[in-house]
Amino acid sequence: KQEVTQIPAALSVPEGENLVLNCSFTDSAIYNLQWFRQDPGKGLTSLLLIQSSQREQTSGRLNASLDKSSGRSTLYIAASQPGDSATYLCAPKAGKLIFGQGTTLQVKP
């Protein structure tokens, strides 16, 4: 049974900092892994999708890496902004998406 852990559970940083969110999963037999963002009271927005054969994906200030063999993924956010404040969820997929509990990020101006 896939279990997904995200560390830290919460993070508060000043604007402009670079930061790393961590995700670990127990079953490395995955098809892909996605990172999502959830704003309060809203649905999820897909940020990045990494196929199992890929090592990383980049979109703007976001970079996600995947080490399938060790069951780890990281989401790197460069030059954080207050608008980045949200909960970030990782979800490896093997048949179905299994979500971590998320990292709630607050970026202070």
Partner 1 sequence: DTAVSQTPKYLVTQMGNDKSIKCEQNLGHDTMYWYKQDSKKFLKIMFSYNNKELIINETVPNRFSPKSPDKAHLNLHINSLELGDSAVYFCASSQGSGGVGYTFGSGTRLTVV
Give contact residues for partner 1 (rule: CB under 8 A). 31-32, 34, 36, 41-46, 49, 87, 89, 93, 95-99, 101-102
Least separation in angstroms between residue 65's CB and partner 1 is: 18
Based on CB atoms, which residue is closest to partner 1, 95 or 109? 95
Is residue 90 within 8 A of residue 33, CB to CB? The reply is yes
Question: Least separation, in Å, of the C-beta of 81 and partner 1?
Answer: 23
Q: What is the edge-to-edge ordering of all strands in the sheet holding 56-59? A: 4-7, 19-25, 72-77, 62-67, 56-59
For partner 1, the closer of residues 41 and 83 by Cβ is: 41
Nearest-angstrom CA–CA distance, 81 and 107: 6
